[in-house]
DNA sequence: ACCCAGGGTCATA
DNA sequence: TATGACCATGGG
């Protein structure tokens, strides 16, 4: 009985337990975009430090980033790890962003076009593109990350080996009849990440256990 | 001394 | 198309 309700039940339980998450942490669309790249395989606390370095140096701006020498930019990004890779990725993102007319012009594209454009940028993969679509451009796109895969795999809803696109299509289809998808997808992804962080406080969901990689759970709530 | 983190690219077979 | 190597700091 794979009704859409199953996917809403998980949301409802988490929402009642944890409350609204009001994501993404970041004040402007551009800050959200940079955060999406910087948080790749990296904890958010480290990203906050790097963003602070950019702010202190008045470099939270695509033109400033393009004009900053690689070594200098990388030094600001040190806390996020992979700082050489991410300095290059930020520059390639900013080059594309400026050439595309920034937020105002890009926001005129429909969601499939904008997604293709984002994926054409070196360093922007499917999850980063979807973070940007949902949280910077307010498009109804369901973000699939490692936590989402683990949670729903351990709930038995999926087998965990599906491709990114396959899972995204599944979630969007299961939730297609819900009102205000942007708000729902925004909160849903935020709640999954919050749940992963605070699983050991009062777990509202029987995932078997936590969402750590090496925990396949024998401690139902 | 591990394990983990809100991934993505590139080279190989 | 499917693995594997690589990127690298910081917190638990």
- The per-residue pLDDT for range A20-61, each reduced to its tens digit, is 999 999 989 999 999 999 999 999 999 999 999 999 999 999
* Token duo for residue A102: 């920034």
Q: How confident is the model at residue A2 (pLDDT cuts 50, 70, 90)?
A: low
| pTM metric for this prediction | 0.92
Whether the CB-CB separation of A206 and A221 falls below 8 Å is answered with yes
Q: CA torsion A209→A212→A214→A218, rounded to 10°?
A: 0
Question: Average pLDDT of A172-201?
Answer: 89
Cα–Cα distance, A133 to A130 (Å, whole number): 5
* Token duo for residue A22: 């009001």
Q: How far is CA A88 from CA A54, A122, A141, A146, in A?
A: 15, 9, 26, 24
Q: Is the CB of A57 under 7 A from strand C?
A: no
Indicate if the pLDDT at residue A200 is higher than 50.
Answer: no
Encode pLDDT of A105-140 as tens digits: 999 999 999 999 999 999 999 999 999 999 999 999
Q: Give strand letter and number of the nucleotide nearest A40 (CA to C1').
A: B7
In angstroms, how far is C7 C1' from A52 CA?
22
Q: Give strand letter and number of the nucleotide nearest A35 (CA to C1').
A: B6
The per-residue pLDDT of chain A, averaged, comes to 90
Whole-number pLDDT of residue A213:
63
Chain B nucleotides covered by protein, CB below 7 Å: 3-10
CATH of domain A29-136: 1.10.340.30
Whether the CB-CB separation of A162 and A66 falls below 8 Å is answered with no
């Amino acid at each position: 009985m794979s009704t859409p309700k199953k996917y809403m039940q998980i949301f409802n339980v988490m929402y009642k337990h944890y409350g609204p998450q009001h994501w993404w942490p970041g004040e402007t669309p551009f800050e959200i975009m940079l955060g999406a790249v910087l948080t790749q395989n990296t904890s958010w606390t480290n990203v906050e430090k790097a963003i602070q370095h950019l702010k202190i140096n008045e470099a939270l701006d695509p033109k400033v980033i393009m004009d900053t020498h690689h070594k200098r930019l990388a030094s600001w990004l040190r806390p996020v790890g992979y700082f050489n890779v991410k300095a290059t990725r930020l520059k390639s993102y900013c080059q594309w962003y400026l050439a595309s007319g920034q937020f105002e012009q890009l926001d005129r594209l429909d969601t499939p076009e904008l997604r293709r454009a984002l994926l054409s940028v070196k360093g922007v993969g499917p999850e980063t593109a979807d973070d940007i679509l949902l949280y910077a451009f307010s498009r109804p796109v369901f973000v699939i990350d490692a936590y989402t895969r683990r949670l729903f795999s351990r709930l038995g809803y999926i087998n965990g080996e599906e491709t990114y696109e396959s899972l995204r299509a599944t979630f969007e289809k299961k939730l297609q009849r819900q009102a205000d998808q942007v708000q729902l997808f925004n909160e849903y992804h935020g709640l999954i990440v919050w749940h992963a962080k605070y699983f050991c406080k009062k777990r509202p969901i029987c995932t078997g256990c936590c969402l750590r990689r090496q925990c396949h759970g024998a401690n139902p709530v």
